[in-house]
Amino acid sequence: MRGTDHQKLSIADLKEMARQIRRDIIKMLMISKSGHSGGPLGLADIFASLYFNILKYDPQNPTWPGRDYFFLSAGHLAPVWYVTLARAGFYPLSEMSTLRKINTRLQGHPAPGYTHGLPGVEIASGALGQGMSIAVGATIGLRMDQKPNHVYVLHGDGELDEGQVWEGLMTASHYNLDNLTAIVDRNFCQIDERTEKVMKLEPLADKWRSFGWNVIECDGNRIEEFLGAMQEARNFKGKPSVLIARTFMGKGVSFMEDDYRWHGVPPSEEQGKQALSELEPTKFGDFVMFEWEKEVPEVVK
């Protein structure tokens, strides 16, 4: 069985879903009062595209052997993944309010396994820099068995400071892993400062090219463009492909946009309300209604 087809959304609906994902992230973080806002908001368009157009999966059967493998190497981006997994039907929407709380499956950083594991999470992440190697191993193993599954790995740009990423991407091109597609969340922000100030990455595309990858640069906040780039990556044979996707940290919330200081903090109550007022409700509906949202607005006379 294949779960993707019934999940595929039109471009208009993908945009609406991306907005819903942003609303969910804000509400989730307002409840947890802990967690990362900036990166996850910037990735809403990419995650809507991945789970409602690109990836093959079956939410009822997360370990379906025909699935595509998706690895979130930068585990702190979990909020956008968690809400997308809920929206895609991997676990109940209401569970989103348990992020980072004791006994939750929505651990601060993605957890696999039987204790705290969330369906759809293949392997742990959180300590940066390890996802590329895992994706390389999975791709090689699947190829040994002549399996057609595609493997995807998503990295933060700051995460690329970790040397292990480059070891992995050297291995990927050495073995011509064209069933592997990497996505770099190129938002130019990390914790301490903007990426080029903390540790210069540019010319980033040239670096990946010189390591033997097919490089596609695209706008990660424009869904049509991202889908096109993904198609191009999947069609490319002989080398692994990377999408260097330009995104904006905090995208969709005016006071967070392109500001590295929103990397790791949740919105306060007031900031959350402000953020939600900038993100129009969608037909998919919120997973929770706060008390203040239920109040009947005062009629101004």
- The site for ligand TPP (CB under 6 A) is made up of 38-39, 74, 76-77, 126-129, 156-159, 185, 187, 189-191, 249, 263
* Contact predicate 105/143, CB 8 Å: no
Q: Smallest gap, in angstroms, from Cβ of residue 156 to ligand TPP?
A: 2
Phi, psi for residue 242 in degrees, rounded to 5: -125, 135
Helices 269-278 and 11-32 cross at an angle (nearest 10°) of: 170
Contact call for residues 182 and 241 (beta carbons, < 8 A)? yes
Considering the complex, state which of residue 129 and residue 266 has its C-beta at the smaller distance from ligand TPP.
129
Among 158, 240, 252, 272, binds other proteins (CB under 8 A): 158
How many residues belong to the site for other proteins (CB under 8 A)? Answer: 33
For residue 48, give the nearest of 255, 230, 216, 191 by alpha carbon: 230
**Which amino acid, residue 224?**
E
Q: Which residue has the tokens 């949740």?
A: 266
Indicate whether 267 belongs to the interface with other proteins (CB under 8 A): no
3-class SS of residue 185: strand
**Residue 157 contact partner, candidates other proteins, ligand TPP, none, CB within 5 to 8 A by sort of partner:** ligand TPP
- Spatial distance between the Cα atoms of 140 and 134, rounded to a whole number of angstroms: 10
Closest distance between ligand TPP and the C-beta of residue 154, in Å? Answer: 10
Mode of pairing for the β-strands spanning 180-186 and 69-72: unpaired
Please tell me whether residue 234 binds other proteins under the rule CB under 8 A.
Answer: no
Q: State how far the Cα of 70 lies from the Cα of 155, in Å rounded to an integer.
A: 11
239: Cα separation from own chain's centroid:
23
Which residues make beta-bridge pairs with 18? none
1 lines the binding site for other proteins (CB under 8 A): no
Question: CB-wise, 115 or 277, nearer to other proteins?
Answer: 115
Choose the contact partner of 39 out of other proteins, ligand TPP, none; CB within 5 to 8 A by kind.
Answer: ligand TPP
Rounded CA separation 183/199 (Å): 19
Least distance to ligand TPP, CB of residue 203, Å:
17
162 binds other proteins (CB under 8 A): yes
- For the bound state, the minimum distance from the C-beta of residue 127 to ligand TPP, rounded and expressed in Å, comes to 4
Asked if 112 is part of the footprint of other proteins (rule: CB under 8 A), the reply reads no
15 binds other proteins (CB under 8 A): no
Return d(Cα 96, Cα 106) in angstroms, integer.
8
What does 189 bind: ligand TPP, other proteins, none (CB cut-off 5 to 8 Å by kind)? ligand TPP
User: Which of 63, 94, 127, 137 lies at the binding interface for other proteins (CB under 8 A)?
Assistant: 127
Binding site for other proteins (CB under 8 A): 32, 34-35, 75, 100-104, 106-109, 111, 115-116, 124-129, 158-159, 161-163, 190-192, 197-199
